[in-house]
Amino acid sequence: MLWFLLAILFVAPLVGIYFIIIRSVDRYAPEPWWLLFVCLMWGALGAVMLASAGNWIGAEAIAAALGRTSDDELVGNATATFVAPLIEEPAKALGLLAIFLFSTRRVHETHGPLSGMVYGGIIGLGFTFTEDIDYIVRGGNEAGGAGFIGLLFLRTILLGFGHATFTAMTGLGFGLFVVMRSGWRWVMPLLGLAGGMSLHFGRNLFASFLLGEGIGLLFVLLLHALVVGLFFGGLIWLGFRDRRRVMEGLREMVGVLITREEYDRIINPWMLLPGWNIFSLTGLPGGYFAVRRKQLNLFKLAFIRNRFRHERDSTDQPPVIDPVEAEAIAAIQLANHQGVYLAPYPAITPPPVLG
């Protein structure tokens, strides 16, 4: 019990920090906290339970095939390498599938590649939370404090983003499915899942069969550093992609729904820096929460209008007003009428109010 309590005490804050880091990258279409919490819980509970059952069945099958017991080292290594990626990644992907099936009903354009990677990353963090606690507790029981600290440092500190990056690959596939219009869109989730399973397989292969020789740990760390670098590089690139979509979607709204000063403020590249937005919105006319609501509605409107311009099936037909677009416009007009302003200093002309 002591090791269990200590494991929660040390792992939970680290996972919380990783959670905030991943969530903070999605600046223009931030996912609701409640949905990200559901993702975290699915990874920590639902996916873990499915994966545990699947891994147990796989371990028993391998043990029977090799004529060994299920607690044999070779059986454990083979299960971790060849069974775990095939079971754990689809289990985590079920949460993504549920999210994207729901998202097709409403503002699906905000659930693109960046949102997919964020959702997948958070589900992976939930899985990491439960799995790391299990390993760390076992390390404490077997080797005392040294085993506890060693596994905590290796799994949660050095390799803490592992499952997040694996499941983010699947999330990227789902996100591409949402925004693509060609027939290839249907294979994107499967390709993303295959990519996540491949990365998972590579890490477990090195950790299971080469760790005792020392070279395995080196390969694991090098692979992890490469994947994490690509993961955050992809998140940042997709953040700039969303900024371009906001710029295009709101350009025609200048002088119609927002002023030039507000537009310049909302597309400021500093917006991509975590924490900058909270600082920049504090003290503006209307109060922080009202200003933030107006900003989020402008982002939503920008994504919808961008989809009309670039992603609708037929460019010969005029776009039909999306119900969500009408809601966003109405909310922005109300904010303008109330004097809610997105720039730090009053402009010569106030925010437009449409009749």
Strand-pair partners of 254: 258
What pLDDT is attached to residue 116? 92
User: Smallest Cα–Cα separation from 28: which of 118, 151, 135?
Assistant: 118
pLDDT averaged over 10-residue windows placed end to end, the chain, 355 residues:
89 95 86 91 96 94 88 89 95 92 57 89 97 93 89 92 96 88 89 96 85 72 91 91 89 87 87 82 86 91 75 51 79 89 67 58
pLDDT digits (tens, 9 = 90+) for 324-346: 788 888 999 999 888 888 887 65
pLDDT confidence of residue 109:
45
Predicted pLDDT of residue 107: 45
Residue 279 neighbours by CB under 8 Å, 6+ apart:
none
* Predicted pLDDT of residue 214: 64
Q: What is the 3-state secondary structure (H, E, C) of 239-305?
A: HHHHHHHHHHHHHCCECCCECHHHHHHHCCHHHHCCCHHHHHHCCCCCCHHHHHHHHHHHHHHHHHH
| Measured distance CA(220)–CA(218) in Å, rounded | 5
Alpha-carbon span 138 to 63, nearest angstrom? 22
Q: Which amino acid is at 233?
A: G
At residue 350, φ and ψ (nearest 5 deg) are -75, 170
350's tokens: 């106030």
The closest alpha carbon to 123, from 38, 201, 189, belongs to: 38
187 CB neighbour count, 10 Å cutoff: 14
Assign 31 to helix, strand or coil.
coil
Residue 322 DSSP class: P
Give residue 313's pLDDT. 46
Choose among 132, 205, 124: nearest CA to 172: 124
Residue with tokens 């992890």: 224
Maximum pairwise Cα distance, the chain: 83
Yes or no: say if 148 and 6 are a contact pair by the CB < 8 Å rule: yes
Contacts of 224 (CB under 8 A, 6+ apart): 158, 159, 161, 162, 203
- Give the per-residue pLDDT at 304: 83
